[in-house]
Chains A and B, each alone.
Chain A
Amino acid sequence: MSARRRRYRQLTRGLLLSLHLLAAHRLRTSLSVSGLLAGVAAVIVMVAIGEGAERRVLERVQGMGANLLVVSAAPAQRVAGRPRQVPVYTMLRAADAAAIEQESALAVAAAPAVNGSMVVRWEGVNTTTIVTGMTSVGLRIRNIAPASGRAFDDEDDRERRRVALIGPTVVRTLFGGADPVGRVLRIRNVPFEVIGVARARGVDPVGVDLDDLVVLPFETATRRLLNIPYVHTLFVQARSTSELIGLEREVREILHGRHAGRSGLLDVFVIQNQATLLRTERGAARAMNQLVVSVALLALLAGGIGILAVMLISVRERTREIGLRRALGAKRRDIQIQFVLESAMLAAGGGLAGVVVGLAVAAGAAMFGPWDLVISWHAAGLGLACSTILGLVVGAIPAARAARLEPIAALRAE
Chain B
Amino acid sequence: MIEAEALTRVYVRGTLETQVLKGVTFRVRQGEFVAIMGRSGSGKSTLLNILGLLDRPDGGRYVLDGVDFSGADDDARSAARNRKLGFVFQQFHLLERASALRNVTLPLLYAEEDSGDATRRAERALEAVGLAHRARHLPSELSGGEQQRVAIARALINDPAVILADEPTGNLDAQSGGEILEIFRRLVGAGRTLVLVTHDRAVAERADRILLLDDGRVAGEEAVLSPAAGAHSRAAGPV
Q: A residues near B, CB below 8 A?
A: 1, 6, 10, 13-14, 17, 20-21, 24-25, 320-321, 323-334, 406-408, 411
CB distance from B232 to the nearest CB of A (A): 31
Inter-chain contact A17/B102, CB cutoff 8 Å: yes
Let me know if A329 and B55 touch, CB within 8 A. no
Cα distance, A323 to B52, chains bound together (Å):
13
Question: Number of contacts between A and B (CB, 8 Å)?
Answer: 82
A1 proximity list for chain B (CB < 8 A): 114
A328-B87, A334-B110 known; A411 vs B54 contact (CB < 8 Å): yes
The residues of B that contact A334 with a CB separation of less than 8 Å are 109-110
Asked if B173 is at the interface (CB within 8 A of a chain A CB), the reply is no
Closest chain B CB from A30 CB (angstroms): 15
CB <8 Å contact, A330 and B78: yes
Determine whether B226 belongs to the interface, using a CB cutoff of 8 Å to chain A.
no
B75→A328 contact, CB < 8 A:
no
The bracket for how many chain B residues form the interface is 20 to 34
B118 A13 Cβ-Cβ under 8 A? yes
Q: Once the chains are docked, how many angstroms separate the CA of A20 from the CA of B109?
A: 15
Can you sample 16 A-B contacts with CB below 8 Å? A1-B114, A6-B114, A13-B105, A13-B118, A17-B102, A24-B98, A325-B106, A325-B110, A327-B54, A328-B87, A329-B111, A331-B79, A332-B75, A333-B75, A407-B54, A411-B93
- Say yes or no: B97 contacts A20, CB within 8 Å: yes
| Chain A minimum-CB-distance residue to B87 | A327
Q: Which residues of A contact B52 (CB under 8 A)?
A: 327
B143 CB-CB contact with A under 8 Å: no
Q: Which of B78, B79, B109, B113 contacts A17 (CB 8 A)?
A: B109
Among residues of B, the one whose C-beta sits closest to the C-beta of A329 is B82
Q: How far is the CB of A32 from chain B (nearest CB, A)?
A: 16
| Bound Cα distance A325, B94 (Å) | 10
* Structural contact, B81 and A329, CB atoms closer than 8 A: yes
Contact A13 B95 (CB under 8 A): no
Interface pairs A-B: 8 shortest CB-CB: A329-B82, A24-B97, A329-B110, A408-B54, A328-B107, A331-B78, A324-B93, A1-B114
8 Å CB contact of A330 from B55, B110, B115? B110
B104 vs chain A, min Cβ distance (A): 11
Cα-based distance from A411 to B93 in the complex (angstroms): 8
Q: Are A329 and B95 in contact (CB under 8 A)?
A: no
Q: Is B83 in contact with chain A by the CB < 8 A criterion? A: yes
List residues of chain A with CB within 8 A of the CB of B209: none
> What chain B residues lie within 8 Å of A20 (beta carbons)?
97-98, 102
Kindly supply a per-residue 1/0 record for chain B positions 111-126, scoring 1 wherever the CB is within 8 Å of any chain A CB and 0 otherwise. 1011100100000000
CA distance A330 to B75 in the complex (A): 9
Q: Cβ of A332 and Cβ of B114 under 8 Å apart?
A: no
With A21-B97, A411-B93 as contacts: A330 and B109 at CB distance below 8 Å: yes
| Interchain CB contact under 8 A, A331 and B110 | yes
Residues of A within 8 A of B49 (CB): 408
| Contact flag A327-B98 (CB < 8 Å), given A6-B114, A320-B93, A408-B49 | no
Complex CA–CA separation, A328 to B110 (angstroms) = 8
Alpha-carbon distance between A21 and B110 when the two chains are bound, in angstroms: 18
Contact B111 A408 (CB under 8 A): no
Q: For B95, give its contact among A21, A326, A330, A331 (CB under 8 Å).
A: A21
